[in-house]
Structure 1
Amino acid sequence: MVHSKGRVLARVCVMAVAIGTFAANAARAEDAPANKAETSPSIAEIVVTAQFRGQKLQDVPIAITAVNAATIEQRGSTNLADLAGSAPNVTLRPAAASFGPAVVAYIRGVGQRDTNFGLEPGVGLYIDDVYLPTMHGSLLNLVDLDRVEILRGPQGTLAGQNSIGGSIKLYSKKPDGTPDAYLSSTYGSYNRVELRGGSNFTIVPDTLYMRLTAAAVHKDGYVTRYDYACTHPGSTVPSMVTGTGCKLGTEGGKDYVAARAAVRWTPAPFLTADIAADVTRDNSEPTPSTLLYVGRAANPGTMLTGVATPASAAYTLNGNVYGTATGSQFISYSPFGAFAQDTFSKSPYINYENYADTAPRDGSAPWQAPLKAALNTWGISGTVNATLTDNLKLTSITAYREFDGTYSTGDGSPLNPSLQANTIYNKQFSEELRLSAKFGDLANLTVGGYYFHKRSRYQARIELTTLSFLEDDSIPATNKALFANADISPIRNLTVIGGLRYTDQSKTFVYGRFGVPGSSTGGAVPPSLAALNGLVGGYSGSRLDYRAGLQYRFSDEVMGYAQVSTGFRGGGINPRPFFPAQALPYNPEKLKAYEVGLKNDLFDRKLRLNLSGFVNKYTDILVTVASCPLPGVPAAPCSMPINAGNATIKGFEAEAQLHPVAGLSIEGSLAYLNFKYDSVSAAAASSGIGPEDKGQYISPWQWNVGIQYDLALGSIGSLTPRIDVSHIDSFNRNANNVDAATGGKDIFGEVQGYTLVNARLTFRSGDKDWEVAFEVRNLTNKLYYTDIFDNRGSTNSVQGTPAEPRTWAVSLKRRF
C-alpha cells in the first residue's frame, strides 16, 4: 500500500509538470487582446512577504495559502482555528481542556499538541513578524487583519527554529491617511454578543497616522455542568448545589475585551516606523470536556481484550471486550458504542464536573479549582524600515510581550480522580535585523540576525489518584540566529534559490515540587518527587538549516518550482516527570522536505490552480508517551517526550479559485497525506510504539469547497449568499494507535472524521456603508469532537472536546 501511494505521488508530480506545460501553452493561446473588457472577472492579487520582501502570491516558490480581510469576513472566521477548513493539510483546532486555552497546530503532519513550556511548537506562529513561542494563548482572534499567510513545509531558513512544519503569519492593518472606520455588532446562539470597531486617524498629514481597534465578546458555554446528586436523587455523591436548580454552570463560554493602537510615522520619504501596542483581558470559561469512557487502566493506544470487570457491565466493540468501573455512571454520551449509562440525559453536551476536591487524598482541606480558562496578554512592537539607497533596505523588528493565565481541568465527573489548577506566566523579548539588497534583475539578497529570550513559569496544584503535590517550574530559553537568503536569475525566467540559517539555542528547566500545606504529610514533598525539587536540566545546541531550489516561469501565467528545505524543533528535558528517573533529555526532531509545485493563473486570471507534491524525511520524531518502562520505577504515571524514530511523509495539495462570470466565486482545495515509520527507536518500542503505527494528527484526505455569488440589486445594494463545505478524515491523537498483533485501530485515541457545512447571507447597501449578515455554522448540526484526551494511564478514563452544535448569528456593520 505504501509503495502504491508513493507511485501515486510520483504520478501526481508528473501530472503537475504536464499540466504546467499544457497550461503555459494554453495561456499563450489565450493571451488577451488589448481591447479585452476591463470588467472581465479576475482573481484579486495578494501580496505576501514570505521571502522578506513584497511579492505577488503567484511569484513565490512556496506552498502558501493566503487570505485577505475580505475573505476572512466572507467566511465568518473569528479565530485561528477557523482558518484550517480552507487550508490543505493544515490542522488548527482548540486544544483539549487538559492543555488550557491553546490551539493544536499541525501542518503536513508535523506539529505539537502539548502546551507545556518545556516543549516547543512545531508550527511557527507570528503576528506582524513577531514570533509567539508558546501554544498557550495561540487560539488568536482574527481582529482587524490585513491578511493571513499559511506557509506549508519547513521554513527553517525563512522563519527559523520551531517552524519545522510550517508557519502561520498574521498581519494587522497599518494606519494611513485613508478613511477606514467601522463599527460592527453581532448577536447569536448562546447569547453571543460581539462589538468590534476600528478607525484610522491622521495626526500630522503625510507624516503621522494612528489606527485604533477594539473588540468585546461574550458568549455562554455550550456544555452544561450539572450536579449529579441533584439530578440523581438517592446518590451517595456529595452535592455541590448552593441555590435552586441542578445546574452548576457551563464550559466553553467566552468573555474577553481586546484593544490595539498602531502608529505609523514617516518623517522622511526613505524612513517608516510602525509602533503597535495591544492588550487582551480574557476571562473565559474552561474548555469544554465530557467524560467518554471509564474502564480498566491501560496505556493510551493499547487495545484491551479479555474479560471485563464487572462482566455484567461489559460490552463488545470491534471484537474487543471493554469493561467499566466506578465512574461510568457519569457518562452522558459516548462515541465508543452503547456505553452511556446515565439516565438523566443522553446529551453529548453535558457533564458532572464540579472542579471541587471535597475529600483530598492527601488529607488536606477541601478545595475548589478556578472555574475559568483566563489569559491576560499585552505587548508592544516597533518595526523600522529604512531605504538606504534605491536598492538597499534595512529592517528592524523589536518586540516585548508577556502574558499570565489561569485554567483548570478535571475528568468530567464529580469524583475528580484527576483535578488540576494551573497558573502560567511568560515574558519574552525579540530583535530581528534584516538588510535586503536588490541587484537589478539579477538577484535579491537578504542577510540578518535574530535574538530571542523568554522566561516562562508554570505553577499548579495537581491531584491524581495516588499523588497530590504543588508544582512550580521555571523555564528560561534563548535563541540566536544568523541567516541569509538569495534568489539569482542567471537567465530569463529561471531563478536559483538558496538560503542558510545558523541557530544556537539554549533552554533550562528548573523543577519545583512541593507538598500541599495542611496535608497528612505535613506539607512535605511526596517521596517519589522529593529528588526532583530544585533539579535543573535543559538543552543547548546549534543547527544549520538550508534551502535550495529552482523556479521557472513558463509564461506570465504559469510558474513551476522544485526545492529541498530543512527545519528542526528544539530539544529539551521531560517537563512532567513523576519520578527522578523520568527526568530524561530528548533530542531535537529534524525534517528534510523535497517539494515540486506549479502556480497557474489561467484564462485571463479567471482560474487559479496551485499544485504541490512533497516527500518529507522526518528524523528523531518527538512524541509523548504514557508508559515509561524504566528500571526501578513504575511505568505509570508517565508523560514523557521521546524521540520515536524516523518516518517518511508523502502528500500532495491542490488549491483552486474560479471566477467564471462576474459576481460568482468558487474556491476549493484537496489534500492527501501518508505517514509511514521507517524505523522505531528502542525507547518507542518499549513504550508500545511500532512501525505499524500512524502519525499523530495525520488525516489522509482533506477537502473544502466555498461558493458565493454577488447578486446586484441596483441602487438598493447587493445580496451575497455563500456556502462553505469542508471535510477531514479521521486521525489519531495517540502515538501508539495500531495493535501490532491484530492490526486493529485504537478507538479511544481516534478522532472521527467529519464534514461541516457553513452558510452566510450578506446584504450590502448601495453605498456599501451598511452591511447585514446572517450566518449558520455547522448547518447539519453534526456532532464531532475537536480532540480526545486518552487518560487511561492515570485515571482509567477518556475525555473528549465536543465542538459546538449548530449555531446562528446576525451581524450589523457600519463603515464610515
Structure 2
Amino acid sequence: MHNRKIRVLALAATALTMVASAPAWARDDDKPKPVATTAGDPAADEDAQHATGQEILVTARRREEKLQDVPVAISAVSGNELADQHIYRVADFAAKLPNFAAVQQNTRVSGLYVRGLGGNASNDGAESGVGLIVDNVFFTHVGFSWLDFVDLDHVELVRGPQGTLLGKNTTIGALIVTTKRPSFTPELNLEAGYGNQNRYQIRANATGPLIGDTLAYRATFYVDRSDGWAKNKQDGQKYLDVNRWAARGQLLFQSGPVTSRLIGEHYETSEYNNYYPGFADATTFANGAVRSGAWENKLKSIFGYTPSYKIGQNANLNTQQRIDSRVNGLSNELTIDLGGPTLTAVSAWRQLRFRPHNDSDLSPFSILRAGYDVDVDQYSQEVRIASPIGGPIEYQFGGYFLREDLVSNNRSIFQADSTKYFLTGALPAAALSPAILDGVEYDQYGKLRVTSGAAFGQLTWHATDRLALTGGLRFTRENKKASNTATAFGGATLPAALAPARAAIVNAFGGVFEVADEKTTSSWSWLVNPSFKLSDDVLLYASVSYGEKSGAANLGATPGKPVIIDPEKSTAYEAGIKTTLAGGRATFNVNFYWNDIKDFQATQYDPNRVALGYFLGNAARARLRGVELEGSAKLGGGFSATASGSFNDATFRSYTNAPPPVELSNAVASVNLSGTRIPGSSKWSGQFSLNYDNNVSDTLGLFGYINQTYRSDTNLLSAVYGKQEGYGLTNAGIGIRSADGRYSLQFWSRNLFDKRYAVGIGQATAITPFIKVLGETRTFGTTARARF
C-alpha cells in the first residue's frame, strides 16, 4: 500500500512537471484553433468547442463563464470525455473530480460527498449537504442521483457552500449536470457495446429541426444490461447485475428574444443490487463476554447453520428479489432577452418510486423481509433576472419555490422461520408455532411535506479591469410537516396465551404509535468573494460564505424522540490561485479551504433522557480543512494530461455522545468521537489521466487513455470493523476511429486490476452481521460508435 501511494504521488508530480514545462514540447499544429460556430444554434456551438478541446463554459454562477475565470473552487469535465472513458454513473465521476465521492449501490443507498461530507444521515427525511442540479433544476432526495445521466454536455463540481445562487442545502458543495441541447443541425449518434458478465449497452440520440430555425428536437435512449457476478447458492441467480433503461425527449423553441427548452424523461431499473455481503460478526464483546444475540451465534444455535464470510461467494438467500426504481421528470426553462437583462424561469417536476424486495436476514431461512418503500414528488419554480456580462456591475436576483411530498414506509415482514429466530429461549420449544409471527407485517409509515421559498441576489462589482468583488445574499423560509405512524397487521389469529409473544416482538421493533411535528424556519446564506487578476493568466481569489442545511425530518422517530431537528450551519473560508500557462496550453490551480460546521446531524445518545435510546439529532461539530490541486496540459502530438490531488483533514471537533460500536455496547452507552476523522473521509486522494487522440493517416485516427485514481485509508464506520485500506483504481482504453471522427471502435476496461474494496459498511445488528457496500469489480469490453 505504501509503494502504491508513492507511485500515485509520483504520477501526480510528473503531471505537474508536464504542466510547468509544457512549452518544451508544444507544437504549432496543436495550438487551439478558432471555433467554427453555427449562428443561432447553441448546441452546435457547444459541440464545436468540445471537438477542438477548448475550455468548457461553466454555469456554476448561473451564467456562462470560462472555467479559469471563475473565482471559486470548481472543476469540470466534458460529456464527450466522460463517454469516451465509459464514465456514466455519478459514482464514477470521482475518477475525474477532485475531493468528490459517491456511494451508489441502489437508489436509497446513495449519497454524494465533497471533502468527506454529504449524504443524508441514513434517513429519507434528511437532505444532503451536497446539492445535485440537473439542467438548472435542484433535486432534493439523494435517490435522484442513482440512475445514469445520459447524453451529457458536461458536469461541474463546485466545492464549499454555494447557497446564494445554487439552491437550498448546498453547504458542502454542488454537482451540476448539464445535458446536450437540441440542435438545428440534423445529427444521429449510435453506440453499441459488449463486455464481460454478458453486458451490453445501447445508446442513441437524434436531433434536428422540426420547424425551420424555430423548433428543434432531441431524442435520447439507452439500455444497459449484464448478468452480475455474485452467484446465489439458492437459485443460481447472479447478483449485482445491471438492468436499466431510460428515454428523454427535448424540444427547443427559439423566436426573437424568447427561448424555451422543454425536457421530459423516464428512467427505470430492476436489479439485484441489494447484495450486501456479510464479512464479519461480533460474536463476543470486547471484554470477552459472548454476544448471544449475534446473527452468527443465533444461526448456529437455532438452525445449525454456519454462515460464510467469503465475499462474492457467500450469497445464500432464499427470498431475495429485484429492487425496482422509477424516475420521471418534466421541466421547462424559459429565457427572455429583455433588451439588456435576461429573464429566466425554470419550472420542474420530478418523481421517484423505489421498491426493495430484500432477504434481510442474509440467510437461506425465511426469517425477515425489510426495506423502505420510498415515494418522492418534487415541484419547483425558479425565476431570476441577470444583467448583461461585461459591465462594471453584474447582478442576478430572483426567487425560488419548492414543494416536496415524501413517503418512506419502513416495512418489516415476518416469515415462517421468524418465530424460531426471535422467540427461541423466550418460549418453551413446544410453543414455538410458526403462526406466532409468520405473515405479520410491521410498518413505520413516515410522511413529509416540505414547502420552501427563497429570495436571492448576487452582485459583482468590477472595481478595475483586474479587481472584482462579488457579494451574495439569500433568505429562505421553509415549513416542514412530518409524521411517523407505526402499525402491525396480518398473521394468523392466536390463542390468548401466545398473543403476548407476538406483541413483544412488535414492541421490540418499535411498537404501535403515532408521532408528528411541524416547524417553520428562516435562514440566511451569504457570500463575500473578492478576486484579483495579477495578469491575464493569473487569478487570485478568496471567499467567506455561510449557509444552512435544512433541519432533518426524522421519519423513523418513536415517541419522545425529536421528529424535526435543527438545521446544520456551515461557515467556509477559501483562498486560491488559478494560472494559465504556455499560452493557454496548460493550467495549474490551487485552493485552500477551512469549513466549520455546527449542529451536525448525526445519531446520538442523551444521558439525560436514557429512555429515548439513540436518535437523530444535532449531535456534533465538524471541521473540514485542506488543500486541492489541479493541473492540465496539452502535451503535443495528440497527448494531453490532467492531474489532481487533495489533502483533506475532516474531523469531528465535538461528538461526545455517539453510539458505541457493537463490540462495546454491553459496557458503555456512548463513546466520544471528538477529534476523530469523519467516517469515509480519506486524508489523501488524487487522480492522473493521460489521453491520446491523433490521426495516423488521412483516413484513420488512434485514441486512448489511462486514468489512475487513489484514495488513502479510511474508516467507514468509526469502529474496528469499519477499516478500508487505501486503494487505487486503473481505467484504460484504446481505439481506432475514422479521421473525421464519425466512426470508432474502442476496447476499454474499468478497474483493470480488479481491486476489491468497499464504499460503505453497515453495522452489525440482531438480524445481520457487518455488511459491505461493494465497489465495482473489473469490467471490460468493446464499444462501437457512429455519427451521422
TM-score (norm 1): 0.81
How far residue 786 of structure 1 moved from its aligned partner, in angstroms, is 2.0
CA distance in 1, matches of 2:174, 2:618: 23
Give the match for residue 451 of structure 1: 401
How far residue 440 of structure 1 moved from its aligned partner, in angstroms, is 5.1
CA deviation map 1:51-80 (0-9, x unaligned): 111111111111111111121122210211
**In the alignment, does 2:172 pair up with 1:165?**
yes
Give the match for residue 356 of structure 2: 407
How far residue 479 of structure 1 moved from its aligned partner, in angstroms, is 1.2
Q: Which runs of 5+ in 1 are unaligned?
A: 1-18, 228-246, 298-303, 312-321, 331-339, 356-368, 738-745
Corresponding letter in the other structure for 1:618:
I
| 8 Å CA contact 1:394, 1:433 repeated in 2 | yes
**In the alignment, does 2:361 pair up with 1:396?**
no
| 8 Å CA contact 2:295, 2:769 repeated in 1 | no
CA deviation map 1:442-498 (0-9, x unaligned): 011000000000101122322587696122222111111000001101122000010
CA deviation map 1:752-792 (0-9, x unaligned): 32111111112111232211111111111111112111133
How far residue 697 of structure 1 moved from its aligned partner, in angstroms, is 2.0
Question: Which of residues 181, 187, 201 in structure 1 aligns to 2:188?
Answer: 181
Moved more, 797-806 or 253-262: 797-806
Give the match for residue 335 of structure 1: none
Give the match for residue 278 of structure 1: 265
Question: Which of residues 777, 783, 788 in structure 2 aligns to 1:805?
Answer: 777
CA distance in 2, matches of 1:220, 1:429: 36
| 8 Å CA contact 2:279, 2:310 repeated in 1 | no
CA distance in 2, matches of 1:52, 1:553: 22
Question: Which of residues 678, 695, 704 in structure 1 aligns to 2:678?
Answer: 695
How far residue 660 of structure 1 moved from its aligned partner, in angstroms, is 1.8
Question: Which of residues 573, 589, 592 in structure 2 aligns to 1:610?
Answer: 589
**In the alignment, does 2:201 pair up with 1:194?**
yes
CA deviation map 1:612-666 (0-9, x unaligned): 00111111111235x676746374xx5x322222232211100111112130011
In the TM superposition, 1:701-716 aligns within 5 A as: 701-716=684-699
**In the alignment, does 2:731 pair up with 1:731?**
no
Give the match for residue 10 of structure 1: none
> Secondary structure of 2:243's match?
strand
CA deviation map 1:129-165 (0-9, x unaligned): 1111111242231310111111111111121322111
In the TM superposition, 1:358-507 aligns within 5 A as: 371-389=321-339, 391-409=340-358, 410-415=360-365, 419-438=369-388, 441-462=391-412, 469-507=442-480
Question: Which of residues 497, 514, 521 in structure 2 aligns to 1:534?
Answer: 514
Give the match for residue 262 of structure 1: 250
> Secondary structure of 1:82's match?
helix
How far residue 583 of structure 1 moved from its aligned partner, in angstroms, is 4.2
Corresponding letter in the other structure for 2:78:
N
CA distance in 2, matches of 1:263, 1:663: 36
Aligned pair in 2 of structure 1 residues 421, 549: CA closer, same or farther (>3 Å)? closer
Corresponding letter in the other structure for 1:351:
A
How far residue 538 of structure 1 moved from its aligned partner, in angstroms, is 3.9
Question: Which of residues 654, 669, 684 in structure 1 aligns to 2:644?
Answer: 669
Give the match for residue 234 of structure 1: none
CA distance in 1, matches of 2:361, 2:519: 33
Corresponding letter in the other structure for 1:560:
L
CA distance in 2, matches of 1:180, 1:552: 43
CA distance in 1, matches of 2:506, 2:109: 30
Give the match for residue 54 of structure 1: 64
In the TM superposition, 1:14-93 aligns within 5 A as: 37=28, 39-40=30-31, 44-93=54-103
CA distance in 1, matches of 2:325, 2:137: 19
How far residue 585 of structure 1 moved from its aligned partner, in angstroms, is 3.9
| 8 Å CA contact 2:277, 2:311 repeated in 1 | no
| 8 Å CA contact 2:704, 2:733 repeated in 1 | yes
Corresponding letter in the other structure for 2:352:
F
CA distance in 1, matches of 2:311, 2:658: 41
CA distance in 1, matches of 2:297, 2:508: 27
| 8 Å CA contact 1:102, 1:137 repeated in 2 | no
Corresponding letter in the other structure for 2:341:
L
How far residue 201 of structure 1 moved from its aligned partner, in angstroms, is 2.1
**In the alignment, does 2:619 pair up with 1:644?**
yes
Give the match for residue 250 of structure 1: 238
CA deviation map 1:562-609 (0-9, x unaligned): 0111222111343223x4133454211111110001111101122111
How far residue 353 of structure 1 moved from its aligned partner, in angstroms, is 2.3
Q: Which runs of 5+ in 2 are unaligned?
A: 1-15, 34-52, 415-420, 423-436, 661-668
**In the alignment, does 2:147 pair up with 1:147?**
no
Question: Which of residues 633, 638, 648 in structure 1 aligns to 2:611?
Answer: 633
| 8 Å CA contact 1:514, 1:526 repeated in 2 | no
CA distance in 1, matches of 2:389, 2:329: 37
Give the match for residue 655 of structure 1: 630
In the TM superposition, 1:231-242 aligns within 5 A as: none
> Secondary structure of 1:408's match?
coil
| 8 Å CA contact 2:30, 2:636 repeated in 1 | no
CA distance in 1, matches of 2:289, 2:659: 28
How far residue 547 of structure 1 moved from its aligned partner, in angstroms, is 0.3
CA distance in 2, matches of 1:52, 1:419: 46
Give the match for residue 787 of structure 2: 815
CA distance in 2, matches of 1:530, 1:707: 54
Give the match for residue 135 of structure 1: 142
**In the alignment, does 2:546 pair up with 1:546?**
no
In the TM superposition, 1:222-371 aligns within 5 A as: 222-227=229-234, 247-268=235-256, 270-296=257-283, 304-307=285-288, 309=290, 325-327=297-299, 346=310, 348-355=312-319, 371=321
> Secondary structure of 1:621's match?
strand
> Secondary structure of 2:92's match?
helix
How far residue 180 of structure 1 moved from its aligned partner, in angstroms, is 2.7
Kindly tell me the number of residue pairs found equivalent between the two proteins. 710
How far residue 249 of structure 1 moved from its aligned partner, in angstroms, is 1.8
